[in-house]
Structure 1
Amino acid sequence: MSISVHLRDSVVLPGGGALVNGYGFESRAGGPRRALLPHGHELEVHDLDGLFAGERAPAATFPLPWPGWDRGVHSVSPDASYAVFSGQRAVRAVGAGGETLWEYRHDCWGPELGHPHTGDEQEVCRGLEHGSCRVSDDGRTVWAHVVIGEQEHWVVLDAGNGRELARLPLDSAAAGSHHLSHPDGVHMGLSIGMGQDGILLHWARWDGTQLVDWDLNESMDRILMDVHPGHRGFLTVEHYGSDLRLHTLDGDVLATGSPDPADADEDEDRPCWDYGCGFVDADTVIASTVDCDDEEDPALSRHWLLDARTLEVRGRVTYPGTPATGYLLPLGDGTWLTHDGETQTLNRWTEETP
């Protein structure tokens, strides 16, 4: 079945691809939806709705504390008064004027054998590994994935001064990670990618005294993608794209959705789910497929709408004019984003109503 959609908004946004194929988007329960886009030696923070309303100037701008470091997943406080950066050897809170508010030092994500650090904070060691951080929705804590000694940890820091409040040792050897804040404003998710060694997934909450963690890795090798806007579970995709699953917060499976090989064209290989999926709204999931044997080229992706309760495929998205392909970002309000790399245009779509 084909499902028609129409273009709701469009804006030229160079670098906007980071919104849909990276971690340049940050939303908070009851708060603004923001685009966090690196621009030169700065991190520009845009209000997403303001962008589509014609506001081109960023709502806030923060100088990058380590201009040579282009990895890590960063976060901005709820009032956009400061940003927290996940660096190679530190988590640092930076004010709009570039001043360091606090710093939490940790060991290096990319140490080289026989290469002692020179003491130059701008030195970047070779290696692609990185961590991530996230300011909580209430602005009181910062959650960060870091290296301490020879082990990775998940730490909770006081957002006001960077003091460590809790630490959880992790059994991971990360290539990278990202955080996902639950819309209940209490729980935080952490997804750790370890390359061919798989995925680790954790949920936790800070009760003011201790870190309460749910280790979901005994039966999972899945990437954390999104949380239902009505708090009815979270969505994951299997490491190699074999299926999507909807889980309770404890990890129990509520529904499973697999790509239907019958939906592929005759000259196409078996489809598998790509890494772009999430809730369009409380009733609908959007996901993309690629050819499993074609190195998952996002330029060849196709987009599908699924029932949010059962994860059954409702139909393939039909875009007007030139079809949108590649990664996508659902916004939970009935719309989703795609980015055209040739025209540097950020497009916002919604399903056609009868």
Structure 2
Amino acid sequence: MTVTARLVATVAAPLRAATADAPEVAHPPGRRLLVQRGDDEVVVRDLDADGPPAEARIPAPWPRRFGEVAVSPEGDLAVFAGVHAVRAVDASGATRWEVRHGCWGGACFSAHESFGEYADDEDHRYPDSGSAAFSADGRLVWTHVRGPLSAGGQGEDDQELWLVLDAADGRVLGQAQTLTVGSGSHHTPHPDPAQTGLSVGEGEEGSPALWGRWDGRRLSVRKIDDELLLHGVSPSGGLLLAGDIGQYTLYLHSADDGSVLRELDAEGTVPPHPDGTGEGRVHWDHEAAFVDEDTVVAGTSECDAAHGTARHWLVDARTMSLRGRIAYPFAVAGPARSAGGGSWYTVSGDGTSLCLWDLPPDGS
């Protein structure tokens, strides 16, 4: 069967694709923010504002290839997880705070004080990277860095650390070693400000998925799996959606203890592409989205790309079974990504716009 998606909105990217990453949607509780990172600035736009969209343009301290960015739930503060430091910048361009850490530049063990020290260094041209995320209430910043910290931390040598920071002033509230060797990472926020997920890419070595809890005094970390990518958290916070790095299977985990509740293989479930040759295996995308507590949108766009139109599928999370293919009014590109509030989004193939989607009230 097919399930028809309803187009909620089409939003043009505020920055040129040639000098910016594709636009994304951040969805802290009760809000949807368009976020686009350029080399010189981050644009944050409130997608749910009445009238003309409210927009903030926050200057970037370094070009986008030198790290990741997270924005506050209010959209007025950006935290840049860079090569040598995590820096919070407000809409005026002022630095709110900075936490320096060990260098992500390969075998570099220098304690850099500024981006200018390595901006033109070939050995730092393609550095590894950590990441950052705000808690649901905006009071905490979770960040994955390489140690040691420049001030007062307990990190040893170049061990990678997971930090909980005070979003107001950057104070390190808690920290733990991740025991990873990351080339990149991403956070999976949770509606409870005291917990979040972290997926660390280690290249060919694997992809540890970690779950962190902050009790106000101590950060505790639990490993969920050595080869897993966290995709999202259900609206209640009780379920985690993940996929293995081989893209064979979607997993539904309990957020409480990380145990696997249900799973869905792509092979034997998703039919081959109608325009395909029958060669190659069907596999899930590296991203998928909760629409609501019982519904997931997952794509096979990556393996579909060689044959034509990208396909997305509606999955019943209660049974981890396929309800059917999603029918769009026009062809979409890439994976389905969560936009919160019962919606998901897709980005155009050229990165110049995104579309917000939801399901009709009757789910047909």
Does the alignment reach a TM-score above 0.5?
Answer: yes
The two structures have a TM-score, normalised by structure 2, of 0.84
Pick the aligned partner of 1:63 from 42, 59, 63. 59
In the other structure, the counterpart of 1:103 is: 98
Q: How many angstroms does 1:210 deviate by?
A: 0.9
In the other structure, the counterpart of 2:245 is: 239
The two structures have a TM-score, normalised by structure 1, of 0.86
Structure 1 residues 194-343: aligned runs within 5 Å: 194-217=202-225, 220-249=226-255, 250-261=257-268, 263-264=271-272, 265=274, 267-268=277-278, 269-290=280-301, 301-320=310-329, 322-342=330-350
- Tell me which moved more, 92-101 or 242-251: 92-101
Q: Distance in 2 between matches of 1:304 and 1:5?
A: 11
In the other structure, the counterpart of 2:43 is: 44
State the SS of the aligned residue for 2:248: coil
Q: How many angstroms does 1:181 deviate by?
A: 1.5
Matched to 2:322, the amino acid is V
State the SS of the aligned residue for 1:244: strand
Q: How many angstroms does 1:134 deviate by?
A: 1.5
Q: Cα deviation per residue 1:138-194 (whole Å; 9 max; x = unaligned)?
A: 333221110113211111122222222222112211111111211133211111111
Matched to 1:95, the amino acid is D
State the SS of the aligned residue for 1:70: helix
Q: Cα deviation per residue 1:266-310 (whole Å; 9 max; x = unaligned)?
A: 623320001121111222100011465x8x769753110010112
1:305–1:317: 8 Å Cα contact kept in structure 2?
yes
In the other structure, the counterpart of 1:10 is: 10
> Against the structure 1 CA distance between its residues 291 and 46, is the aligned structure 2 distance closer, same or farther, given a 3 Å change threshold?
closer
State the SS of the aligned residue for 1:49: coil
Aligned-pair identity in percent equals 37
Matched to 1:75, the amino acid is A
In the other structure, the counterpart of 1:121 is: 115
In the other structure, the counterpart of 2:151 is: none
Structure 1 residues 178-193: aligned runs within 5 Å: 178-193=186-201
Q: Cα deviation per residue 1:238-289 (whole Å; 9 max; x = unaligned)?
A: 1011000000021111110112446114623320001121111222100011
In the other structure, the counterpart of 1:177 is: 185
Matched to 1:104, the amino acid is V
State the SS of the aligned residue for 1:162: coil
Matched to 1:121, the amino acid is F
Matched to 2:277, the amino acid is D
Runs of 5+ in structure 2 lacking a partner?
148-156
1:35 and 2:34 aligned: yes
Runs of 5+ in structure 1 lacking a partner?
none
Q: Distance in 2 between matches of 1:343 and 1:205?
A: 35
In the other structure, the counterpart of 2:26 is: 26
> Against the structure 1 CA distance between its residues 195 and 282, is the aligned structure 2 distance closer, same or farther, given a 3 Å change threshold?
same
Q: Distance in 2 between matches of 1:23 and 1:89?
A: 25
Q: How many angstroms does 1:64 deviate by?
A: 0.4
- Tell me which moved more, 135-144 or 91-100: 135-144
| RMSD of aligned alpha carbons | 2.8
Q: Distance in 1 between matches of 2:202 and 2:112?
A: 29
In the other structure, the counterpart of 1:157 is: 165
Q: Cα deviation per residue 1:87-107 (whole Å; 9 max; x = unaligned)?
A: 110011112221222111111
1:270–1:291: 8 Å Cα contact kept in structure 2?
no
Q: How many angstroms does 1:131 deviate by?
A: 0.5
